[in-house]
Structure 1
């Protein structure tokens, strides 16, 4: 709960007050603008700033060479990484920021199948391994896609700059965990390559990565070399588990309903040898073999309409000596979709792809500020759903509670965090009927925007007539 700072001006100062932008006046402007953006994250720059002098100042800020994606984000990244102890998951993934090919914006690169225009954002989202609480972004990188040369060989590909290198660069940007803390990077199959494992080992970080290459040859616990899948097939079932799966579209195009999957779990130690074809980084780092564990999670007795039963093969640095150890690692991987929720906050909640700037450099800087604002939105969603019974007065500023109590529909007292967020969502259009369930983050955010307007109006009246 302590990671969410509701007071918007304090939040802006904490996350942007240490930005190095070449002039302290620019830093002060960035703090003020961040508070304005956070108050209305889905609005345009004129809507967020409301007055022409502030809007013009925002345009000037993003037009400065010193105001970059990295410069705006670095204080937040450092704040997130500064942990006294505990185990933290670093959820990594890349998302496409597409501004559409019809718009005339200089400096963008190809996206999608080459017909879009934009750039890519690779983020490392830090959450508490035990509670799932959102700490923030520990690092990120924006990059532009470069078309691969036609007809290149595998060796030529490994020796040129590759898009997949972003995994290692962001791992290095996150760096070594502070003393007493344990960082575990959680990635999908896109990160399954020897170079990524080398970066993780050098930075003294753990990992949970879904395997993409099940036919690669590894060394088993007896020292024999065999395909990864063959090693898995040798292992007995160590236990059974259940996993709640959301509805999703299958590769065939049909919709797969939500269900509770029954899973068989197997695990084994292994050693991954250096591949025959090596990147320059792998050649230079000197790592020849990497010990790790594999966990196989396979759905059994799937319903007849399920054409693609769940099957995960996870590679992890964490010792897996028992079924309980395996279940812990599986639980960490189950949290990986939170990074996808973060991307939704950035694209839908902050409407990053709708920004009307005319150069890639300005859009990159705007994306930097919005990437931090999106964390605040994700934290709101987490707190509203995970800690509903905490007394509201322990979390919410007293003036907020007083104002919300005064303007809410009905006279029910706001006692808990759940009461606060439901009342806030009602300001944003949530009806609050018994059949409606819990409010979504969009209605919560709209209600937050309206509450802040009420508070600003009350403060203005107080200054004028008080």
Structure 2
């Protein structure tokens, strides 16, 4: 299942979700096809929303082909890239983005609350997101404009857009590096490389990019509410039709759980009844 969730910069106030199934094979792998379809569906739904739309994604989206495609369509985005995946030319050297920013001055720092990550997770999850305790972290940040270079091999999937057209050799983009310079002993340091089309020419603008990326964690909480709060995965639904019926039942419940959790964090003194319409409150009281 691949879903898109829309949220404001400050609170989760609405959502849009889309679901796609695709056969394997072709120029894109299944994961990239889902990202492509999800971004396109979200952009179409939010075309006339009257607000700036910023697509936020994690490392699965941080490939040259997807970034160049979104930039070509004039989409705004903040995407976390893998530390060694993208390249830029500095003189005659083809460097990773962390190496390219190594001499740039730090713009400032910001405190962030880091959620814990348990050890009893799958090997893939632990490898990409190491276990850690919940804690406060001081994150330093800096930015730089760069020219991303297309992967060297024309046979690579990352050299083509979703229409199968060869991408341009370079992509002008901004990078915000976020790093925990002094992590506690034994704890993995936070290190993000955020590539973006948003302005980064001031401390406030760089903080806005970081804030946009951190909103991505809402979707993690949403799926946690769906999987753990609603026990969705335990239901062992095999057919696509059965999955859609179950999602129609449980997605509103998961969304309500997310709203309650967000309100508890951002407005802890608010009454929970204020989050629900009167018909919903009436139904809850009768259960």
TM-score bracket for this pair, using the shorter chain length? 0.7 to 0.9
TM-score by length of 1: 0.51
Distance change (3 Å), C-alpha of 1:266 and 1:282:
farther
Partner of residue 228, structure 2: 348
**Conserved? CA contact 2:112–2:136, under 8 Å:** yes
C-alpha displacement of 1:128: 0.6
Does 2:51 match 1:181? yes
The match for 2:33 among 165, 171, 182 is 165
Partner of residue 292, structure 1: 173
d(CA) in 2 for partners of 1:191, 1:275: 15
C-alpha displacement of 1:219: 4.2
SS of match in other structure, 1:197: helix
SS of match in other structure, 1:208: strand
Partner of residue 200, structure 1: 70
The match for 2:19 among 126, 132, 141 is 141
**Conserved? CA contact 1:302–1:309, under 8 Å:** yes
Does 2:61 match 1:191? yes
Distance change (3 Å), C-alpha of 1:224 and 1:179:
farther
Partner of residue 122, structure 2: none
C-alpha displacement of 1:273: 3.1
The match for 1:274 among 143, 150, 154 is 150
Distance change (3 Å), C-alpha of 1:201 and 1:313:
same
Does 2:129 match 1:248? no
d(CA) in 1 for partners of 2:200, 2:279: 50
Distance change (3 Å), C-alpha of 1:318 and 1:351:
same
Distance change (3 Å), C-alpha of 1:274 and 1:361:
same
TM-score by length of 2: 0.78
d(CA) in 1 for partners of 2:54, 2:135: 29
Distance change (3 Å), C-alpha of 1:303 and 1:224:
closer
C-alpha displacement of 1:233: 0.5
d(CA) in 2 for partners of 1:240, 1:356: 45
Partner of residue 48, structure 1: none
**Conserved? CA contact 1:244–1:259, under 8 Å:** yes
Partner of residue 134, structure 2: 258
d(CA) in 1 for partners of 2:279, 2:52: 38
Distance change (3 Å), C-alpha of 1:219 and 1:361:
same
C-alpha displacement of 1:143: 3.2
Give deviations 1:347-403, integer Å, cap 9, x for gaps. 2233333447663432234324533442233223333543355578876666888x8
d(CA) in 2 for partners of 1:305, 1:374: 35
Residues 41-440 of structure 1 mapped to structure 2, 5 A cutoff: 121-129=1-9, 131-137=10-16, 139-143=17-21, 146=24, 159=27, 161-176=29-44, 177-178=47-48, 180-214=50-84, 216-219=86-89, 226-249=95-118, 251=126, 256-276=132-152, 277=156, 278-279=159-160, 281=162, 283-284=164-165, 287-306=168-187, 308-355=188-235, 359-389=239-269
SS of match in other structure, 2:251: helix
Report the structure number with the largest CA radius of gyration. 1
**Conserved? CA contact 2:200–2:206, under 8 Å:** yes
Give deviations 1:50-98, integer Å, cap 9, x for gaps. xxxxxxxxxxxxxxxxxxxxxxxxxxxxxxxxxxxxxxxxxxxxxxxxx
State how many pairs are aligned.
Answer: 273
**Conserved? CA contact 1:240–1:264, under 8 Å:** yes
Which runs of no fewer than 5 residues in structure 2 stay unpaired? 120-125
**Conserved? CA contact 1:198–1:282, under 8 Å:** no
Q: CA RMSD in A?
A: 3.5
C-alpha displacement of 1:203: 4.2
d(CA) in 2 for partners of 1:143, 1:400: 33
